[in-house]
Each structure stands twice: as C-alpha cells, then as structure tokens.
A and B are shown apart, each in its own frame.
Chain A
Amino acid sequence: MARSTKLKILWLQSITCNGNTHSFFSHPNFMTLMQKFEVIYHPILDSKYSLDNVINKKLTCDILVLEGAFRETGMQKADREIYEIAKSYAKKAKHVITVGNCSTFGGVFRLYDPESIGGFCFNDETPNEAYKLFKRKLISLPGCPAHPRWIGNLLSMILSQRQILLDNFHRPIEVYGYSAHAGCPRNEYFEWKVDSKNYGHKEGCLFYEYGCQAPYTHANCNKILWNEVSSKTRVGTPCFGCTEPYFPKKDLWHTNTLMGIPATMPMDVPRRAYLTITGIAKSFSIKRLNEPIIKYKK
C-alpha cells in the first residue's frame, strides 16, 4: 500500500530545559525534514493541536518524541500527570524516542530528587518499569542536548525504514558506537601523553588534568561536529560525558584519579595496557607537541 499519509510526530516535554528542542531546531535542513512528517505537537512550532488537546483528547501518533526527565507524580500539565500522558501515547506509538540525557537516563534534573526523578525507561543505567512495556519500540538519543543530526537522521531512517542497530541502552550504534575521542584534533597529544596545563590553548590533551571524558564517552561528536563546525574538545573544553547514564558526574573539570592514575580508562582498554603504553609514550619528548602549533609574528 502506498503511503498516503505522513507519519505523525508528537513531541512531548516533561522536566526539561528545552535544549533538545533548540538543538534540533538548529538542524540545517530542519524545515525540509519536518515537512515529511505531520507534526501533531511540538514545543516551539505552531502545530495542529494545542497542548491541552494533547493532554485531554485521545490523539494518535506514530513517533512519540520525549524530552525531559520524568517523575510518576508531581509533574503536571493542565492538571494531568505528564508521565501518564507519555505512557498512554507510548502504548499506541510505533516508536518511542527519548531525546536528551534527561528523558533517557534522568540527566541533570534527576539530581534534584534521584528517588523519584529518572528517565522514561532508565534511571541512570537501571531499566525501570516503563522499560518492560516499551523496550521493543524504544530508541534512546542521550546527549545534553542530543545533536540535531542524531534526531533528524533517526527520524529519516524511521521514515525510510532503514535498519537501526541499538546498543544495550537502545542508543543507535551508528551514532554511539564511536567514542567522542574519535576525531578529536588533540589525539596526538593523547597518544604522546602531552597534557594541557592551562585553558585556552589549541595544544594539549584534556584527559589527564581537566576531566575530559571523551575516551570513554559513546558519541560521534568529533566525527560529525556540533553546529557543523566545532566540538567541546576543539575549543579546549573537556567532554563531560553527556551521552552516558552517569552524567553529570561530580567535579566535571577534574580528572578523577586513583593515586594519580586516571580512574576511568578509555573504552575497553585494560588498566595494565593503558599504563604500559603511557609509560612508553611519556618517556619520549616529542618537540613539536611541546611547542605552539602556530607561532604568530609579533
């Protein structure tokens, strides 16, 4: 049967900052993309129905997009618990997408009350009750915020019925199979263990002193770049691990160490292997890597 109607998207917010909404709005082909769908509700676009309609009428959607952390009670809109609204739409939707770290794992806002606030299907890394109900249709796009391309391309892949492989947190592997470290221009400094000693330099690796979590964070930020041009590590800011269930860790600008040794190893690298390589790499002083890349004339 030829597709006669567009897939319906309903974008529902819970405890959020709207960061994912605005991130997605910065997608360079936002309009072209959205025109392929029927937007039932969206937090900033003029949409077919009002929030009141969404909450009080029984509408239907094919793709439910959830933004923000959830609590079973105490987060109401139009006098209804938004968690219940989300569950009722999730039951009928074909796909449930949790965009952002909050709706996936609980994120920043979970910290306010970890006993009762969490993601839609996970509390940190633990699957919750809703997970059992929706795991078959769940796709997680954690990130703080999610990258516009992750959202846009996932919607397009659903539309074109492409195969979407997921990891154990239901994150698409094509996005989260990479580490945020992959593609970082500071990689040479990581390889040769040349630490950043001060903020504000192109040179140096942020892993040893400044808390960079890129080597153990699942995300392709440094492959596809943010806003098409940049990334945190490209501008000397450490990766804060915002696609992971434990985001945001404490002391975000400091590397957690065990007797001076980074506490968390690069993804799947045994501590012994890392230390062996580190010991060797550190012993060589590579002149080029200890000098500014560019020496402007006065």
Chain B
Amino acid sequence: MKVKYLIEKIEGEAELEFDFKNGLVDNVNIYFPFYRGIEEILKNRDAMDALVITPRVCGICNHAHLIASVRAIENGLNKAGINIDLTQKAISLREFTLSCEIVQSHFKWFYLVALPQLLNLDRMKCPDNYILKASWASTNIVKALAIFSGQWPHASYAVPGGVSCDPTYEDIIQAESLVDEVIRFVENELIGMNIDEYHKRKEISNIKGDMAIIFGMLDKHNMKAKGKSYDRFAVFGEHPIFQTGQYNKKYSNDIDFAHIDEHPQHNSKAKSVTYKDMCYEVGPLARAIMTKNDFMLNLHDKYKDSVLTRVYARLDETIKLLVHIKSLLANLNVKELSCTLANMPKALEADGVGMVEAARGSLIHQSIIKDGKIQKYNIITPTQWNLSSGTQKEAGIAAQAIKGSVSIEEATFIFRTFDVCSVCTTH
C-alpha cells in the first residue's frame, strides 16, 4: 500500500511516499519539489558575490554557507599559489560564529521539532513554554554571534584572508556574558544540572531537565533503538572539536573530496550524494562517532545509529560547543590582524573546495573561478547526504532508517531526527 505524506515545518516541505507491507514501512521515497537555482544565479558573478548569495540558501544555517564559501575561495587561492594564512584570531572568530549558529539550530530542533513531534504522538499540543525556550535561547546565542558578524541571519563578515570585523575586548566581554546566559539556560532547563555534573554522568538516565523528558518519551514510545541505517559516518569539515574522517565498520581519518559523487534523483530536485559509491550519514552523530568520545562509544555499541544516539548526539554537541566557544573568547587576541589578504587578486583563476561542519553535517562548496568570475559553483548540503531516496544500489540514509516503522508518525519522527532542512536539500 502506497501512502503519500506532506511533511512540513522542516525549513520548507518534503513529500514522503511510503510503501507499507504487513503494516510496516517497506520503502520510502523522498521528494523535495522546490529548486531555487542558487548555483545558476552565481554563474558569471564576481567570485566574492558567493559570500553574499550562498547564505541565502538557508535561513537557519546561512552562516555555515558563508564559511563554506569563504573556505572554497581560500582553498582556490592557495591552490593558485596565493598563500592564505589566517591569524588565530580570524580562525577563532569564524569558529565562534559558526558554533553559535549550530547551537541556535539545535535548540530550535529540540524545542520546536523533536519535543512537539513526540507530544503529537500522545495527541498533546506543544506548550508555549517550549517555543519561549527555543526563542530565548536561540535569540541570545545569535546575538553573541552578531556582535562579530554584524547580523544573523545572512551575515557576510568572513572574507578571504580572515574576517571583516575588528572587535574590542569590550565586544568580547559582551559575547562572553551572552554565552554565560545561554549556558545557565542549558543548566537550568535543558540538562537540569551544572555542566561539571553533566560531564560526570555515567548513564543517560543521570541527565535531568528537558533532555530527560525526551529520553523518557523515546522510552515510552519504544523508539530508542529504531531508526537504524547503515552505521556509516562521515565528517568532512575541519573544526577543532571534531575529528574529520569516515567510519564504516572501522575508522579512517582519510577523507577525500575526489570520492564524492552527486546523483540526480527521479522526481526530486535534490541530488543524492555518495562517498566511494556508498551513502554516509553526516551530522552530530557522525561527529560524535568520529571524535570517539567514551560515553558516545558505549552508547553506540548498544544502540548503533539510532533515534537515541542521534538525539543524544545533537543535544550533547550543543553543550560541548558552548563550552568550547567560551574558551575561544577567553583566548582571543584582539591585537592580531583580522584579515591578512588586502584585496582579491585581479583576474583570478582558481578552483577551490570549502568544507565545513554545519548543524546538520558536512556542507561542501566548490567554486571554480575564471577571470575573477564564477564559472561553476557547486553546493553539497548535509541533508543531501542524509535525506535522499538513495542510489540504484541502496536506499538513502534516512530512507533506510525509516524502514520497518510501524506508523507514519513514527517514520516521520525518525526522519526528523536527522533535522530536516528542505531549502538546503534542493538549494
């Protein structure tokens, strides 16, 4: 029996076409119907225009697009023999703002998507309190981001050679106090304990606060071990608290852009993407696995790639990032240069790839520049990795994870544990 379902509030919409057999999902096709042609729009524009246009791929992870596009240009410059050395200050500021955006996104996913969806299973309405929490926490963390980037969404402050801002210690203090506020929120609301205590946790059941609510609900609905896919993971983007590489039964820190292929899909505007001809999961769970954190490894031994590990990884990462960005600010040296490249070389010929870890996983931009103009631009988004229908050889990551679901509600919740972003998927 085939059932079509319009899934909404996923940064746009998608259409899922379920194939039920004996009351279980046997197969699913995922269609993303809207294509906006960002890559086409960029053609023949000045290389730097990508820093303004590509954030407009996505309202929730626009900053990751900015960082990917600046890295693509810088990679191209380096390959063209123009050495780009970022100062530690510029590196730290980019990491800070990018991490703030990830945290923002995770808060929204948790309070606006995950919790309300689980409540829906019990026919309960999402309390205003959750929206308030999502809004308060995300507003405050993007405020810290905006101190350096000028605004969120849609900043373009990362430029080849560094960043355009030139913060003072006073700016840093203000950002620190906002991060402190958000950490306090996490302690009071999300985990119900202070962060030191959280670090000492032995079991998931030790965690309190709203995080405990979601684990309780997953338990109640018997979903913890659902949503298993191929247990393959990839992390492409460099970030000091994540290890790049891939995991497919064993770990490898080798990861090469050359092995990535995109495949058009029937009926969908989104291309699927493979690494060495196989689908890989990207995102917080992939990052946690690659980083080989003990707690995560134990959890993974028991649950593999499942609803529980995915939910846990996303929330745990929120906390890790907040702790990390505090240290970035504490060590920021304002006396260093913000930007080491005075101007873009004229008539630049370059071919560069920029890879970055966004909220939903690895985001890749490739920019081919001729005579200073963009000749070809290619964007591969995290959700293309996770949410395609798959290839001729195998079903996509999420499609595989959904197989065996007992209901549309369960299937769509599993789908949402990947934190779906429709606009990114098609771009």
Q: Is A in direct contact with B (CB under 8 Å) within the complex?
A: yes
Asked whether A235 lies within 8 Å of B60 as measured between CB atoms, the reply is no
Asked whether B52 lies within 8 Å of A252 as measured between CB atoms, the reply is yes
Asked whether B151 lies within 8 Å of A22 as measured between CB atoms, the reply is no
Known: A25-B138, A45-B131, A232-B156. A198 touches B150 (CB 8 A): no
Known: A26-B142, A200-B338, A229-B146. A19 touches B166 (CB 8 A): no
Interface status of A103 (Cβ within 8 A of chain B): no
Binding stretch for chain B, among A75-83, A125-133, A167-175, A275-283: A75-83
Which one of B131, B149, B153 lies within 8 Å of A22 (CB-CB)? B153
Interface status of A223 (Cβ within 8 A of chain B): no
Bound complex: CA A233 to CA B149 (Å): 10
Q: Which residues of the other chain, A, contact B41 by a CB distance below 8 angstroms?
A: 108-109, 111-112
Binding stretch for chain A, among B32-40, B386-394, B406-414: B32-40
Bound complex: CA A114 to CA B303 (Å): 50
Task: Report the minimum CB–CB distance from B177 to chain A (whole Å).
Answer: 11
**A1-58 residues at the B interface, CB under 8 angstroms:** 13, 15-23, 25-28, 30-31, 34-35, 43-46, 50-52
Could you give, for residues 222-262 of chain A, a 1 whenever the CB lies within 8 Å of some chain B CB and a 0 otherwise?
A: 00001111111111110010100000101111100000000
Asked whether B6 lies within 8 Å of A232 as measured between CB atoms, the reply is no
Q: Which residue of A lies closest to B113 (CB)?
A: A44
Which one of A16, A28, A198, A237 lies within 8 Å of B155 (CB-CB)? A237
Asked whether B168 lies within 8 Å of A236 as measured between CB atoms, the reply is no
Bound complex: CA A77 to CA B7 (Å): 11
Q: Which residues of the other chain, A, contact B90 by a CB distance below 8 angstroms?
A: 200
Q: Which residues of the other chain, B, contact A296 by a CB distance below 8 angstroms?
A: 334-335
Interface status of A145 (Cβ within 8 A of chain B): yes
Asked whether A23 lies within 8 Å of B153 as measured between CB atoms, the reply is yes
Binding stretch for chain A, among B16-24, B157-165, B317-325, B376-384: B157-165
Interface status of B345 (Cβ within 8 A of chain A): no
Q: Which residues of the other chain, B, contact A242 by a CB distance below 8 angstroms?
A: 154
Binding stretch for chain A, among B43-51, B233-241, B244-252, B258-266: B43-51
Interface status of A115 (Cβ within 8 A of chain B): no
Interface status of B337 (Cβ within 8 A of chain A): yes
Q: Which residue of A lies closest to B164 (CB)?
A: A236
Asked whether A227 lies within 8 Å of B423 as measured between CB atoms, the reply is no
Could you give, for residues 26-68 of chain B, a 1 whenever the CB lies within 8 Å of some chain A CB and a 0 otherwise?
A: 0000000110111011000110110111001111101000000
Asked whether A18 lies within 8 Å of B161 as measured between CB atoms, the reply is no
Q: Which residues of the other chain, A, contact B152 by a CB distance below 8 angstroms?
A: 26, 226-227
Task: Report the minimum CB–CB distance from A204 to chain B (whole Å).
Answer: 10
Bound complex: CA A280 to CA B128 (Å): 59
Interface status of B11 (Cβ within 8 A of chain A): yes
Task: Tell me the count of chain A residues lying within 8 A, CB to CB, of chain B.
Answer: 66
Interface status of B197 (Cβ within 8 A of chain A): no
Asked whether B12 lies within 8 Å of A199 as measured between CB atoms, the reply is no
Bound complex: CA A13 to CA B222 (Å): 35
Which one of A16, A34, A77, A252 lies within 8 Å of B48 (CB-CB)? A252
Q: Which residue of B lies closest to A226 (CB)?
A: B151
Asked whether A201 lies within 8 Å of B166 as measured between CB atoms, the reply is yes
Task: Report the minimum CB–CB distance from B134 to chain A (whole Å).
Answer: 8
Bound complex: CA A63 to CA B118 (Å): 30
Which one of B40, B108, B135, B151 lies within 8 Å of A227 (CB-CB)? B151
Bound complex: CA A15 to CA B159 (Å): 28
Interface status of A144 (Cβ within 8 A of chain B): yes
Known: A51-B6, A227-B142, A229-B143. A18 touches B58 (CB 8 A): yes
Interface status of A273 (Cβ within 8 A of chain B): no
Q: Which residues of the other chain, A, contact B8 by a CB distance below 8 angstroms?
A: 43, 50-51
Known: A76-B33, A253-B48. A235 touches B157 (CB 8 A): yes
Asked whether B153 lies within 8 Å of A145 as measured between CB atoms, the reply is yes
Interface status of B132 (Cβ within 8 A of chain A): yes
Interface status of B342 (Cβ within 8 A of chain A): yes
Interface status of B79 (Cβ within 8 A of chain A): no
Asked whether A30 lies within 8 Å of B53 as measured between CB atoms, the reply is no
Q: Which residues of the other chain, A, contact B150 by a CB distance below 8 angstroms?
A: 226, 230-235, 237
Bound complex: CA A98 to CA B120 (Å): 31
Asked whether A200 lies within 8 Å of B112 as measured between CB atoms, the reply is no
Q: Which residues of the other chain, B, contact A291 by a CB distance below 8 angstroms?
A: none
Asked whether A200 lies within 8 Å of B164 as measured between CB atoms, the reply is yes
Bound complex: CA A233 to CA B11 (Å): 29
**B101-122 residues at the A interface, CB under 8 angstroms:** 108, 112, 116
Asked whether A17 lies within 8 Å of B52 as measured between CB atoms, the reply is no
Known: A78-B6, A199-B339, A200-B163. A18 touches B423 (CB 8 A): yes
Bound complex: CA A12 to CA B30 (Å): 23
Interface status of B348 (Cβ within 8 A of chain A): no
Interface status of B223 (Cβ within 8 A of chain A): no
Could you give, for residues 265-298 of chain A, a 1 whenever the CB lies within 8 Å of some chain B CB and a 0 otherwise?
A: 0000000000000000000000000000010101
Asked whether B57 lies within 8 Å of A237 as measured between CB atoms, the reply is no
Task: Report the minimum CB–CB distance from A200 to chain B (whole Å).
Answer: 3
A-B residue pairs, 7 tightest by C-beta: A200-B338, A18-B59, A200-B339, A226-B151, A236-B164, A112-B37, A19-B59
Residues of B that sit less than 8 Å from A by CB = 6, 8-9, 11-13, 33-34, 36-38, 40-41, 45-46, 48-49, 51-53, 56-60, 62, 90, 108, 112, 116, 125-126, 128, 131-132, 134-135, 138-139, 142-143, 145-157, 159, 161-166, 168, 174, 334-335, 337-339, 341-343, 423
Residues of A that sit less than 8 Å from B by CB = 13, 15-23, 25-28, 30-31, 34-35, 43-46, 50-52, 75-78, 108-109, 111-113, 144-145, 197-202, 221, 226-237, 240, 242, 248, 250-254, 294, 296, 298
List 24 contacting pairs A-B, 8 Å CB cutoff, sorted by A.
Answer: A16-B423, A17-B57, A17-B58, A21-B59, A22-B153, A46-B116, A46-B125, A109-B37, A112-B41, A144-B56, A198-B342, A200-B159, A221-B151, A227-B146, A227-B152, A228-B143, A229-B147, A230-B150, A232-B151, A235-B155, A235-B157, A236-B165, A237-B155, A240-B156
